[in-house]
Amino acid sequence: MQQAAMPGQESAAVECIGLSKVYEGRIAALNDLTLTVPRGAAFGLLGENGAGKSTLVRLLLGFLFPTSGLVHVLGETNVARAHPRIGYVHERPLFEARFTGRQYLKYFAELSGFWGRENERRVQSALEQVGLRAVADRKVGGYSKGMLQRLAIGQALLTDPDLLILDEVTSGIDAGSQWELRRMIAELSRQGKTLLLCSHYLAEVEALCDTVAILRKGRLVLSGAVSRLLRQRDLVEITLAGDQRAEEIVAALNLSEQVIEARENVLRLPAAAQQEILAALLAASIPIHALNPLTQTLEEVYVRATHADADAEAAVPEPL
């Protein structure tokens, strides 16, 4: 009997509810994780080494089984059934150096059940997608690290997957190859692929992903749309026109309690105080050059979230 779909499952590529994984020795790699990856999202999974990212990926692929909780992948409770629709690029993929790039992809296409003309079509399509058509008949042993990473992505694309899991794909390669890979990943996102990107490069995740989750010690400490998280600092910057001194204006209008920072001709203030301060400046006929909401980088979001979680953990008293 087929299990009924979970609420929201139809629109989710991945859904975890109360997911925990405890290894032998009572080490909790994941602890009560509830997380949703929407279909079509470019989703960044962040966390330090040991945060639980690799364990989560292995659970999604069915290489591990949860200790408790539920996990659905592309609507399947038995995640092995979703394998034909998942592409996976390991952090350290292995290659047979004697193969050419074309032979390598042809072999894996055969393992996926594609033969004859369909095999050729899929291999050619993958080579074109990852930009390796010109070197397809060179031995893999002569490929650069960046070319090997592109070949690994090509292998993952052979089945035209709905979900593509990319684990540290730009790690350890030169800046030019990183740029090429990021451009390729962005194009896959534009095509509507659901991407799960594990990366330590926060600027890369900020550029490529629309949604992120931050794990720490197996727990989810923060998740949400990147655009929302970057605005969460909730500050506004007002630039005064001309050569007006912000400190003098703040003192003259008695605004020191509302303004966080005043330097040169710039005021920084909480967004909640924006209307009150604008009204005061207008009443005093003080001209304004610009008003902009302040954002933060994903790196700042990550550091704040993980440090806050660590501080909260340290504040919990030890059991007697």
Taking only the tens place, the pLDDT of each residue in 165-215 is 999 999 989 999 999 999 999 999 999 999 999 998 999 999 999 999 999
What's the pLDDT band for 290 if we cut at 50, 70, 90?
very high
Q: What is the pLDDT of residue 47?
A: 94
8 Å CB contact between 103 and 137: no
Q: Is the pLDDT at 11 greater than 60, yes or no?
A: yes
Q: Is the pLDDT at 2 greater than 50, yes or no?
A: no
Q: What is the pLDDT of residue 320?
A: 54
Burial 39-56 (b: 16+ CB within 10 A, else e): bbbbbbbbbeeebbbbbb
- Domain segments of the chain as ranges: 9-95+143-229, 234-294
Burial 310-319 (b: 16+ CB within 10 A, else e): eeeeeeeeee
Q: Which CATH class is domain 234-294?
A: alpha beta
Q: What's the rounded Cα separation, in Å, for the pair 256 and 133? A: 63
Q: What is the pLDDT of residue 40?
A: 96
Q: Is the pLDDT at 304 greater than 90, yes or no?
A: no
Residue 162 CA to chain centroid, in angstroms? 17
Q: What is the pLDDT of residue 228?
A: 85
Q: What is the pLDDT of residue 271?
A: 86
Q: What's the rounded Cα separation, in Å, for the pair 298 and 115? A: 44
Q: How confident is the prediction for the chain on average, in pLDDT? A: 91
What's the pLDDT band for 44 if we cut at 50, 70, 90?
very high
Read off the pLDDT of each residue in 126-143 and give the average, rounded to a whole number.
96
What percent helix, strand, coil does the chain show, rounded to 5? 40, 25, 30
Read off the pLDDT of each residue in 287-314 and give the average, rounded to a whole number.
86
Of 24, 19, 28, 74, the residue nearest 50 (C-alpha): 28
- Taken in order 155, 156, 162, 164, is the CA torsion positive or negative? negative
Q: What is the pLDDT of residue 243?
A: 86
At 246-284, the pLDDT tens digits run 999 999 999 999 999 898 999 989 888 999 999 999 999
Of 309, 296, 300, the residue nearest 222 (C-alpha): 309
Read off the pLDDT of each residue in 213-236 and give the average, rounded to a whole number.
89
317 vs 285: which has the higher pLDDT: 285
Read off the pLDDT of each residue in 301-306 and give the average, rounded to a whole number.
89
Q: What is the pLDDT of residue 316?
A: 64
Q: What is the pLDDT of residue 129?
A: 95
At 19-35, the pLDDT tens digits run 999 998 777 899 999 99
Q: What is the pLDDT of residue 155?
A: 97
CATH numeric code, 9-95+143-229: 3.40.50.300
